[in-house]
Amino acid sequence: MSTQQSIATPESDSKKHPASGVKPSSLRVNIAVLDELMTLAGELVLTRNQLMQSIGSKDYAMIERASQRVDLVTSELQTSIMNTRMQPVGTIFNKFKRIVHDMSKDLGKDIELEIEGEEVELDKTIIESISDPMTHLVRNSVDHGIEAPDIREQTGKPQHGRIHLMAYHEAGQVIIEIKDDGAGIDPKKVAAKLVDISMFTESEIKEMTDGELVKMILKPGFSLAKEVTDISGRGVGMDVVNTNLTKLGGTIDLDSTVGVGTTIRIKLPLTLAIIPGLIVVAGEERFTIPQVNLVELVRVPPEQVKSRIEKVDNASVIRLRNELLPLLRIHDVLGMPRIFKDSAGNIHEDNRKIIHDRRSKSVDAWDTEEEVEALENDKQSRSEDRRASASSAVNIIVVNAGDMNYGIIVDSLLDSEEIVVKPLGNHLRGARAYAGATILGDGKSALILDIVGITNLMSLKSVKDNAKEQVISRKIKSGKHTRSLLVVRNAKTEYFAIPLGLISRIEKIHRDDLESPGGQLSIKYRGASLLLFRIEDTARVGAMEDVENPYVIVFQHSGREVGMLVSGIVDAIDTEGEVDDKTFSQPGILGTSRIMDQTTMLLDLYTLVTF
C-alpha cells in the first residue's frame, strides 16, 4: 500500500467543483498521521470515561489526574491535527527553477539556483499565500540583483551568478532566505532617489544608517527601477510584498552589501489556525494580541508617566531606549469609554485627551469639592502630577507591524495562551482593527486585534516620522551618551542592571520548572535544555530571593543561548548616569551607578557564566 492517500477522491472532488476553475479543497495526508490521530482519539475517549467516573465518585485526586491527562492528550491531538495541514515549502520552491531558467535566458544571464530546506513544512494556507510574494522577490533577484556576465567579469566575479533559496526553523517560526551574489543595493542611490521624490530631506538622510536606507525600498511609492518592465516589478513595488507578508503575521528584513549581494529574510508563523496570544483587558472587555506581533511589555510607574510619555503633534509617544515610539490607547482605537481608578479604588471616567496630559487647569467632571476649592486657591497645584497609587501605572504593549514598532496602552494584562482563531461575523468584516475572534477558557469570546490594521487606521507612520525628527534634534543639542538598561532584582534589597542590547528574551517561569541534573541548573526551553546561572554563584552578593515566579534573562554566550536567573524585573530605562568602576568592582560586577535613586550594580554577564 502507498504511504500516502488522498482525503478526497478525484470523483467526489470533481462533483464539488465541476469545471468551475475553483481550486480543489483536498489535501494528501500521510497514513502515519491518520493512525496517530486515531490513537489519540482513543486515548481521549478513555480519559473522558475516567474523568466522568471520578466526578461521579467525587474522587478529587483522580479528577486532577484525569484533567492533567486530558490536557496532555489535547496538546498531542492539536499537534497531530495541525500536521495534517502542513505541506513542505518545496511545493513552491520547485517552480522557481523554471522561472530562474527562463528569465536568465531572456536577460542573457547565467544564473544558478540553489535550493535548501525543501522539506520544511508550513500551513497549507500560508504556503498558498506566500507564492506570489516569493515569485516577486525571486524575479527581482534575477533582474535587478544579478549583474550581466560582462559586468560581473569586470568586477572580478565569475560570469555565472548564484541565487540561494533556503528555508529553516528558528524560535518556533519558519525563516525563508533569498540570497544572491549580485551588485547589492547601493544606499547612496536610495538616498538620492528619496530626495528626488521628496520623501525625505537631505538633512534627514544624513541621520540614517546604510541599513535604514536599504529598508526604504519597502516604503510605498518607492522603486529604484528606471522603468516598469514585464520581467520584474510590473508596477508592483516591494511595499506590496511587505504588506502581504505582514498580513500573515510575517516580517521581511533586508541585508545588502554593495558589490557582494543581497539577502532577503522572511519570518513566518507555522500556522494561522492556532496561535499563541496575550490576553489583555480594556475597560470591561478582553482582547487578544498575537504573540508573533509582541516585542516587549513595558510598565511605566506613576511617578515616571510625566517624564517618559511625551507629546508629538497632539499624539502620545513613549521614550524607550532613546527612541520615541507612537503610543495609543486601545480605548481610542475601538471607541470605548476610558476609565481610571483613584487612590480609593473607585472607578471614574478619564477625561484626559492624551495620556501624558496632567489634567487641565479647568474643573474636571470628577473633581471633588475639596479639589475645586484647592484649584481656586492655588492654580499652581493643578500642574502637579497626582498619579500616586500603583493602579495609576501605565501598562504598555510594544508591538511590531512590519517595519515599525508602536505601543498600545491597556488597563491590565492577563496571561498568554494558545488561541483558536475564528473568522469574524459578517457585521465585523469591515472592521480594520480586528483580525478574528476566539473563545476563551470561560466560554466567552474575545476579539483578536489586527496590529497592522490598527497602524493604518490610526496613521501611526506619520507620528513615528515626526518623533524620529525630535529624537535626532535632541541628540544634537544634548551631545550626551545614553545607555539602555534592564533593571532587575535578585535579593530583596539589591538591584542590578543589564545592557538591553545583550538580551535575547525574558521568560517568566515557575520555580517548579527548575531542574538540576548533574548539579547544573537548567529548564526545558523550546524543546531543549537551557543552562541557568545565578548572580551569587560568582559575585559576592546576597542570595536570590525565593519567589514563586522567577525570571530568566536569555542571552547568547559562546555561540549558544544561556539564561541568568533573577527574582524580579524592575524596569527598562535609559540613563546617562556615570558608572563608578572602583567602589564595588568585583568578578561579574562592572561597577555601580545611581539608577532610580538606588545604588545599582552593572552586571558583566559573560564573566558570571562559567561552563
Residue 43 has pLDDT above 50, yes or no: yes
Rounded CA-CA distance 479/75 in Å is: 54
Co-location of 97 and 65 in the same domain: no
Q: What strand order describes the sheet that includes 528-534? A: 503-508, 551-557, 560-566, 528-534, 522-525
Helices 124-140 and 238-247 sit at what angle, rounded to 10 degrees? 160
What pLDDT was estimated at residue 300? Answer: 83
Contact 560, 530 (CB under 8 A): no
Co-location of 52 and 111 in the same domain: no
Residue 259 has pLDDT above 50, yes or no: yes
Lowest mean pLDDT across 61-65, 223-227, 495-499 = 223-227
Co-location of 449 and 320 in the same domain: yes
Give residue-wise pLDDT tens across range 326-367: 888 888 888 887 766 655 666 667 666 555 554 433 333 334
In a domain, 389, yes or no: yes
Which grid coordinates belong to 29?
Answer: 495526508
Lowest mean pLDDT across 168-177, 317-326, 557-566 = 317-326
Rounded CA-CA distance 293/593 in Å is: 34
Which grid coordinates belong to 187?
Answer: 544606499
Bigger pLDDT: 363 vs 71? 71
Co-location of 127 and 224 in the same domain: yes
What residue has cell string 487612590? 343
pTM exceeding the 0.85 threshold for the entire prediction: no
Confidence of residue 481 (pLDDT cuts 50, 70, 90): low
Rounded CA-CA distance 325/327 in Å is: 6
What pLDDT was estimated at residue 452? Answer: 79
Co-location of 227 and 290 in the same domain: no
Containing domain of residue 336, as a range?
274-464
Indicate the number of domains in the chain: 4
Give residue-wise pLDDT tens across range 73-115: 888 888 788 888 888 899 899 899 999 999 999 889 999 999 9
Lowest mean pLDDT across 31-45, 373-387, 576-590 = 373-387
Give residue-wise pLDDT tens across range 156-174: 899 889 999 999 987 667 8
In a domain, 470, yes or no: no
What pLDDT was estimated at residue 176? Answer: 93
User: Percentage helix, strand, coil, to 5, in the chain?
Assistant: 35, 35, 30
Q: Across 190-199, 266-275, 319-328, 478-487, which has the greatest mean pLDDT?
A: 190-199
Co-location of 394 and 355 in the same domain: yes
Rounded CA-CA distance 21/387 in Å is: 63
Calculate the alpha carbon distances from 280 to 41, 397, 410, 454, 572 in Å.
Answer: 33, 9, 7, 16, 21
CA 41 to chain centre: 34
Of 269, 295, 321, the one marking the end of a domain is 269
In a domain, 469, yes or no: no
What pLDDT was estimated at residue 164? Answer: 94
Bigger pLDDT: 481 vs 201? 201
Confidence of residue 297 (pLDDT cuts 50, 70, 90): confident
Q: What secondary structure does DSSP assign to 243-273, as a single string?
A: HHHHHTT-EEEEEEETTTEEEEEEEEES-SS
Instruction: Tell how many helices (H) and how many strands (E) occur in the chain.
Output: 17, 32
Q: What secondary structure does DSSP assign to 320-333, as a single string?
A: ETTEEEEEEEHHHH
In a domain, 376, yes or no: yes
What pLDDT was estimated at residue 372? Answer: 42
In a domain, 516, yes or no: yes
Co-location of 170 and 252 in the same domain: yes
Q: Across 69-73, 231-235, 320-324, 470-474, which has the greatest mean pLDDT?
A: 69-73
Residue 180 has pLDDT above 80, yes or no: yes
Rounded CA-CA distance 506/550 in Å is: 11
Q: What is the mean pLDDT of residues 223-236?
A: 55
Of 464, 494, 522, the one marking the end of a domain is 464
φ and ψ of 124, to 5 deg: -55, -40
Q: What is the mean pLDDT of residues 543-568?
A: 88
Co-location of 79 and 94 in the same domain: no
Residue 234 has pLDDT above 60, yes or no: no
Co-location of 427 and 508 in the same domain: no
Co-location of 103 and 227 in the same domain: yes
Residue 142 has pLDDT above 70, yes or no: yes
φ and ψ of 516, to 5 deg: -145, 60
Where residue 531 sits, what CATH number does that domain have? 2.40.50.180
What pLDDT was estimated at residue 6? Answer: 36
- In the DSSP assignment, the letter for residue 144 is I
What pLDDT was estimated at residue 463? Answer: 56
Give residue-wise pLDDT tens across range 409-420: 888 888 888 888
In a domain, 115, yes or no: yes
Bigger pLDDT: 186 vs 219? 186
Give residue-wise pLDDT tens across range 510-531: 888 898 887 888 888 766 788 8
Co-location of 72 and 110 in the same domain: no
Rounded CA-CA distance 402/398 in Å is: 13
Co-location of 38 and 168 in the same domain: no
In a domain, 511, yes or no: yes
Confidence of residue 470 (pLDDT cuts 50, 70, 90): low
Q: Which of 268, 234, 269 has its CA nearest to residue 253?
A: 268
What pLDDT was estimated at residue 477? Answer: 44
What pLDDT was estimated at residue 375? Answer: 44
Mean pLDDT of the chain: 78
Q: What is the mean pLDDT of residues 70-74?
A: 86
Where residue 190 sits, what CATH number does that domain have? 3.30.565.10
Q: Which of 588, 489, 602, 592 has its CA nearest to residue 540?
A: 588
Q: Which of 355, 468, 329, 330 has its CA nearest to residue 403?
A: 468
In a domain, 20, yes or no: no
